[in-house]
Amino acid sequence: MKKLVTTLCAMALFASSAFAANPVRISQVYGGGGSSSATATYNVDYVEIFNASGTAVNLSGWAIEYGSNTGNWGSSSGNQFVFPTGASIAPCSYVLVSFGTPSTGGGPLPVPADYSGTLTISATSGKVALFSALNANLACGSELPGTLVDKVSFGTANCPEVTNVAALTNDSGAIRNSGGLDDTDNNVADFTVTLNPVPRNSASPANSGCLATPNASRTWGAIKTIYR
């Protein structure tokens, strides 16, 4: 038994020291909320995140931030969302954060959001980042060291992971492929612009492909967040 435990510890250490895409990542972005247009799918904006690892991750103090085409991350408090103390994301599962008050265009989200905030995400062109700590009004490239977990730029926004996702519309969102599993750190390769996207929340079924082969790799930023 002792040998087995030692082996498992060694395996976990090896897996966690590999430098690769963070297992927690943005899995959907929808910005068509906040509109009076009848073509909007939903009446609020949302960001869905996914945990591709086999262990729960503590999200306390993590942040989702919006930036306009050439704007800073979280240029105002309204474009910063910080997860409350105790927030977490289950293995191979999702968390849904909605933004804004329901507008006249579009319908309600099909599942309740786990959290709500005030980001105002453009329906067509902008960028969203997930940080392990608040980056208040910082330019792309000037993020606090080790805090950038994932980011996606769509339309003509600057600062993508390699290449932007195409422009979105009132009735489409940027959806990470394979239910959130694909993360090569190239936005255009990892996301598909999808009509009438369907968000998932913490109560949605876990990703079956992830349950079969969870991604155990973590960046040092994530390790520090987990053990601090």
Q: How many residues does the chain have?
A: 228
Q: Report if residue 48 touches Ca ion, rule: CB under 5 A.
A: no
In the list 29, 30, 31, 188, the residue contacting Ca ion (rule: CB under 5 A) is 31
Segment 178-217, which members bind Ca ion (CB under 5 A)? 183, 185
Nearest residue to Ca ion by CB is 34
Contact between residue 152 and residue 180 where contact means Cβ atoms under 8 Å apart: no
Give the helix ranges, DSSP H, for 151-202: 187-190
Segment 149-178, which members bind Ca ion (CB under 5 A)? 150
In the list 45, 65, 143, 171, the residue contacting Ca ion (rule: CB under 5 A) is 45
What is the nearest approach in angstroms of Ca ion to the Cβ of residue 83? 18
Spatial separation of the C-alpha atoms in residues 224 and 52, rounded to whole Å: 18
Contact between residue 96 and residue 109 where contact means Cβ atoms under 8 Å apart: yes
Contact between residue 151 and residue 161 where contact means Cβ atoms under 8 Å apart: yes
Structure letter (DSSP) for residue 73 = B
What is the nearest approach in angstroms of Ca ion to the Cβ of residue 166? 17
Which residue ranges make up the site for Ca ion (CB under 5 A)?
31, 33-34, 45, 121, 150, 183, 185
